[in-house]
Amino acid sequence: MLWLMRFSRFFSAVMALVVLSPSLQSFPLMPPTDSENLFSFWKASVFRNADKCGSNQRGVSGEMSVCDPSLVHVAITLDIEYLRSSIAAVHSILQHSLCSENIFFHFLVFETNLELIVQSTFPQLKFFDPKIVRNLISISVRQVLEQPLNYARNYLADLLEGCVSRVIYLDSDLVVVDDISKLWSTSLGSKTIGAPETVPINKSHLGSDQNT
């Protein structure tokens, strides 16, 4: 099942500690598996807004409202194989954001051995039926492409709250080196989607210096 985890910059800033530190888990610990031994992260620094960023809208509970118009919404998929990359991507976004507290992350998670970590750390989850995705994928394509996470970006409108009219989807294997608000403020005109152009690649030169 594909899960949508919704939380603000605060959770993301301490994500490296909360998600991966056994001492903070509420469920009984099992002997670590080989995959669990692969991850070891330090707690991220606390990221604060600059004075010019202003304050966010807060609900009755004091939590940030997902409908706050000042928020920058970022969607990223989480997968056990790319968890290190996802942590690095989140950290790079926060590190280069002038208004880091205005970043609202939406993490998409499929059923993996991350399930217990997700359940104990983020109890407020929104569920999405992966069959909706699978039924739209031709069986003639490679089986590896039939995984729902590969197509989750196409269904963000069904996953996110109705008040979220704009979202930046990022692959987990990247590092952001500038303020993401610049990308957020880019006008799309009458277009629905903005995406980078595909760089032409000479496959015969893959792995060589000629393709760098």
Handedness of CA 199, 138, 161, 117 (dihedral sign): negative
Report pTM: 0.64
Domain limits for position 10:
2-211
- pLDDT bracket for residue 72 (50, 70, 90): very high
**Count: domains in the chain:** 1
Nearest to 88 by CA among 210, 192, 176: 176
Q: pLDDT-derived band of residue 137, with 50, 70 and 90 as boundaries? A: low
